[in-house]
Amino acid sequence: MSQAGSGPATGETHAPGAPAPQGGVPLAVPDIGPLERAAVIEALDSGFVSSVGPAVTEFEQEFARTVGSTYAVACSSGTAAIHVALRLLGVEPGDEVACSDFTFVGSSNPIAYQGARTLLIDSETDTWNLDPALLRQELARRAASGEAQPRCVEIVHVLGQPAQAAEILEICAEFSVPVLEDAAESLGAGWSAGPLAGRQTGTVGTIGCFSFNGNKIATSGGGGMLVTDDAELARRAKHLTTQAKVPDVGYLHDEVGYNYRLTNLAAALGLAQLRRLPEFVAAKQAIAARYDAAFADLPLTLPPRIEGMDATYWLYSVLLPSPADRAPFLAHLEERKIGGRALWRPLHAQPPFADSTLVGGEVSTRLFDTGVSLPCSTQLSEADQARVIDAVVSYFS
Ligand SMILES: *Cc1c(COP(=O)(O)O)cnc(C)c1O
């Protein structure tokens, strides 16, 4: 299996929606049922297939209610949502944006689209997400030396695991830097204790972005959502995603916008999936609990379990004892037709971001060198879960 691919962590081992080859267990495939089928056919029959139609607005409203934000603006992808968010936060050519080093490249490509530079901050080992201590150290160092602060801090809640957002928000408030949340992988995750109790990922920063790519916990085929509690930012987001067209005046565009609006057809699918989100989250959490119990005595680092944080375990991932284990472990899974996949190469090791300023980098490197994701489709049968468990256990025996 190739480990060099920079694509999202699922969906490439086996095409999403396709059965695994020769009776294998795919890494993760979408869960599309009769509700989705009916919604898409209804949207088709309505004639509203493109970027105007009732499902887009309905999806936005229901999404905002689901995650607990005031506004939601549907976009053509998560990457597009992040791009618009960066522009709304005033990111311009030559600026710097602080970003988690350990993430999928969809987090950082939009920073480059804006002509800005990435200031990469390593992860901490508890959540595998941006390390607040390193962030504080870097922002304090800049404040002391009179260096410019980054235009914003982009945190990512990887693999459905909330970041240490309360602490990060406090640090960013102290240095007056806005927080953008990349919640592409963490729809449904949140906090049940502490200062953010009752809140969901994506709703605690100035802007949050989600993805409905085919490999995410809920899909619209392809799509994204930008959420905020700020009416003006929401208005501007909608404006920028629709070519910055000024209403009621023939073809007047007051700035350079984008064709980033979600289609009605995609929104219909996304809305149907959103209604099943509690079911999806419960299924992911049940698979994670079963794997955790089965792997408890193995020399693996299991996914984070943190009091007060409700992770979804969107993509169940473990850390192997040593980097030397990764290739043989993946080969062992492949022989048994079990879809496994390495985690992301950190951004600092990606050619387009190699000249970023890097703070830390050892944790993200270790996550990449030893991390492997295991099959965790929401409809994964008990028998298939047992096959995955047997394959993992047998590697160590
Ligand atoms: C999937 C993903 C994105 C990009 O979302 P798309 O909808 O695929 O454009 C961004 N960031 C992270 C962390 C992701 O996993």
Please count the other Cβ atoms lying within 10 Å of the Cβ belonging to residue 24: 19
Is the CB of 103 within 6 Å of ligand 1? yes
> How does residue 32 score in pLDDT terms, banded at 50, 70 and 90?
very high
What atom of ligand 1 comes closest to residue 185's alpha carbon? 15
- In the reported structure, the alpha carbon of residue 341 is separated from the centroid of ligand 1 by a whole-number distance in angstroms of 17
Distance CA 340, CA 17 (A): 16
Residue pair 340/331 in contact (Cβ under 8 Å)? The answer is no
* Amino acid residing at 373: S
pLDDT of res. 50 = 86
Distance CA 375, CA 288 (A): 10
pLDDT of res. 14 = 38
DSSP string, 7-48: S-SSSSSS-TTSPPGGG-B-S------HHHHHHHHHHHHHS-
pLDDT > 80? residue 347: yes
- In the reported structure, the alpha carbon of residue 389 is separated from the centroid of ligand 1 by a whole-number distance in angstroms of 28
Q: Which tokens go with 170?
A: 């406090």
Distance CA 153, CA 227 (A): 16
Residue pair 284/313 in contact (Cβ under 8 Å)? The answer is yes
Is the CB of 213 within 6 Å of ligand 1? yes
What atom of ligand 1 comes closest to residue 215's alpha carbon? 1
Is the CB of 181 within 6 Å of ligand 1? no
The H or E element containing residue 165 is helix 165-174
**96-100 and 152-156: which strand pairing?**
parallel
Q: Closest Cα to residue 111, out of 156, 145, 143, 71?
A: 156
Is the CB of 104 within 6 Å of ligand 1? yes
Please count the other Cβ atoms lying within 10 Å of the Cβ belonging to residue 153: 28
Average pLDDT (21-35) is: 90
Angle at 143 between CA 137 and CA 148, to 5 degrees: 110
Distance CA 94, CA 41 (A): 46
What atom of ligand 1 comes closest to residue 80's alpha carbon? 9
- In the reported structure, the alpha carbon of residue 362 is separated from the centroid of ligand 1 by a whole-number distance in angstroms of 23
For 242-281, how does the pLDDT look when each residue is reduced to its tens digit (9 = 90+)?
999 998 778 899 999 999 999 999 999 999 999 999 999 9
Distance CA 376, CA 287 (A): 7
pLDDT of res. 247 = 82
Is the CB of 118 within 6 Å of ligand 1? no
What atom of ligand 1 comes closest to residue 77's alpha carbon? 7
pTM equals: 0.94
Instruction: Pick the residue whose CA is nearest to atom 14 on ligand 1.
Output: 184
For 166-195, how does the pLDDT look when each residue is reduced to its tens digit (9 = 90+)?
999 999 999 999 999 999 999 999 999 999
Secondary structure of residue 306 in the 3-state scheme: coil
Is the CB of 184 within 6 Å of ligand 1? yes
- In the reported structure, the alpha carbon of residue 212 is separated from the centroid of ligand 1 by a whole-number distance in angstroms of 8
Is the CB of 215 within 6 Å of ligand 1? no
What atom of ligand 1 comes closest to residue 9's alpha carbon? 15
Q: Please name every residue paired with 208 in a beta bridge, in sequence order, or none if there are none.
A: 181, 227
pLDDT of res. 8 = 39
Instruction: Pick the residue whose CA is nearest to atom 7 on ligand 1.
Output: 78
